Copies of this chain bind each other. A is one copy, B any other.
């Protein structure tokens, strides 16, 4: 089922500072910040040769990463996103295996305008797993 690693998401309290560190200290190519108000984050893409890291900063009220940053004020690795060919099929097979899909259990349109779902970290050894249909 799992295809490529689409991205690794890192929540940060200060996107401008993190973006500068990845660009200047680590010598990576970073995008301009993109505000995604409907997803409650501003994102900078760190473009690596084989995948990307997404630096996320909360945007607006009720950001989905606000609670994580309260627990981890310096920031930290937030989730891994894997690509799948058929997200509806993935959701059914995961639920049949006893894994919990967050929210109402149905895929949503994600930040890349593709169908995504998130799996409960308690079912995956403390790692929040996102699946994205590509």
Protomer copies: 2
Q: Is A28 an interface residue (CB 8 A)?
A: yes
The reply to whether B12 and A125 contact each other, CB–CB distance below 8 Å, is yes
Distance from A119 Cβ to chain B, minimum over Cβ atoms (Å): 9
Report the Cα distance A50→B6, complex, angstroms: 9
Query: Beyond A2-B22, A4-B48, A8-B80: 11 further Cβ-contacts under 8 Å?
Result: A1-B28, A3-B48, A4-B49, A4-B51, A12-B125, A25-B97, A25-B98, A74-B121, A76-B125, A76-B127, A77-B77
- Shortest 10 CB-CB distances between A and B: which pairs? A1-B27, A75-B125, A76-B126, A75-B126, A77-B77, A74-B126, A2-B28, A4-B50, A25-B97, A12-B125
